[in-house]
A and B are shown apart, each in its own frame.
Chain A
């Protein structure tokens, strides 16, 4: 039986938990009540997916590993998520500009990521790794709703007012270069492909391009030209933002190991 390498499971889990954490930053701060609830629910789905993947990885790793040791007691350089998902909920800040949440950035990021994940989960639900396939089949159902939600808002923003269009385009220009990381397999992804448990993500690129093109056309937004730098978050080389995110997420568990409530 072909089983996915543990590093590959962690890559999938880390993406979900980190984006779940980012989206959860809107809890209590949503631009409208409906969106506050929507983002909280998307976060719950993502954290739920991460838990299933961490539980599976922990069972296979053994040696006392649990979902909690994997989520809370690995350091930033051990995380295998895309750089895209760890970026803050706003674009680049200049000088002493106050940090702020920008909903266009959050929505565009969720759109770019969920457009990839509907394709990845769809491929993985046929994986010969039955445990991974079971998680993928569930996650696919959820990712579809995440994509609907994000794509709807990309269209509303892009084809909305001058202000919403400009902010959506700025978010797209800021985030799009980070999607280059999707298409350059890591060692863990190569091993997963070689094991037969995972599909080569490069074969999904045309379908992803089609989803993006379709939505951006409806949104009257322009796909930025991307060339050059390829981020390496999934190799453990992250932006500085991940460390702060993990500091918040892991702080309680590390201060009070084994605490229950």
Chain B
């Protein structure tokens, strides 16, 4: 049977991030494209952080799901344009919040290197537990490279913030 593009999307739609199992690879923008080429179907994935240890697992998960569905497709890793948290869907952001991770702000529009240097993003990050914006950055790096560690000064809960990338 020749699989259609829709079949492939359907086969891969359930795959979630190994670290954050409430959001799918598609919602995160990691599963970027599925396309028909002269050499058959290609599944295009893109790495998040260069050193993200979850990427190997993600690629394995994609291959395993394709195999399970009996679909022959090549998995292509594409770097450009670089993955950005701006690709994350609103649904994904809502799911992150419900899971206890503050979703990322949009990436700062002023990306000038010099201006960006010392002035850390000052936009308030709302606590995913109580919604307060009276929060403070504890560390630029949290449990994974993609997250920073914050603390809510109202409900006193520490929480992760998915950093704009």
Q: Which residues of A are interface residues toward B (Cβ below 8 A)?
A: 34-35, 37-38, 41-49, 51-52, 115, 118-119, 122, 130-131, 133-135, 137-142, 144-145, 147-149, 151-152, 207, 210-211, 214-215, 218
In the complex, B93 has a CB within 8 A of chain A: no
Closest to A16 in B: B50
User: Given that A45-B145, A149-B140, A218-B118 are known contacts, is A142 also in contact with B80, CB under 8 Å in the complex?
Assistant: no
Q: A152 vs B144: C-alpha distance in the bound complex, in angstroms?
A: 19
In the complex, the answer to whether B49 meets A44 with C-beta atoms within 8 Å is yes
Q: Interface of chain B, helix or strand or loop or mixed?
A: loop
B120 at the interface (CB under 8 A from A): yes
Nearest Cβ on chain A to B148's Cβ, whole angstroms = 8
Shortest Cβ gap from B77 to chain A (Å): 10
Looking at chain A's contact residues, the main secondary structure is: helix
CA distance A130 to B142 in the complex (A): 32
Q: Mark B121-151, 1 if CB is under 8 A from A, else 0.
A: 0000000000000000011111111000100
In angstroms, Cα B141 to Cα A205, docked, is: 28
**A49 and B163 contacting across the interface, CB-CB below 8 Å:** no
Supposing A44-B145, A138-B83 touch, asked if A34 and B113 sit within 8 A by C-beta, the answer is no
Expressed in whole angstroms, the Cα–Cα distance for A105 and B50 within the complex equals 25
- Closest A residue, CB atoms, query B79: A134
Residue of B nearest to A39 (CB): B141
Q: In the complex, which residues of chain B have a beta carbon less than 8 angstroms from the beta carbon of A140?
A: 113
Of all chain B residues, which has the CB nearest A114? B117
Per CB-CB distance, the 9 closest pairs between chain A and chain B, nearest first, are A48-B51, A48-B50, A44-B51, A134-B80, A38-B141, A134-B79, A34-B139, A41-B145, A41-B141
Chain A residues with Cβ under 8 A from B118's Cβ?
A: 148, 151, 211, 214-215, 218
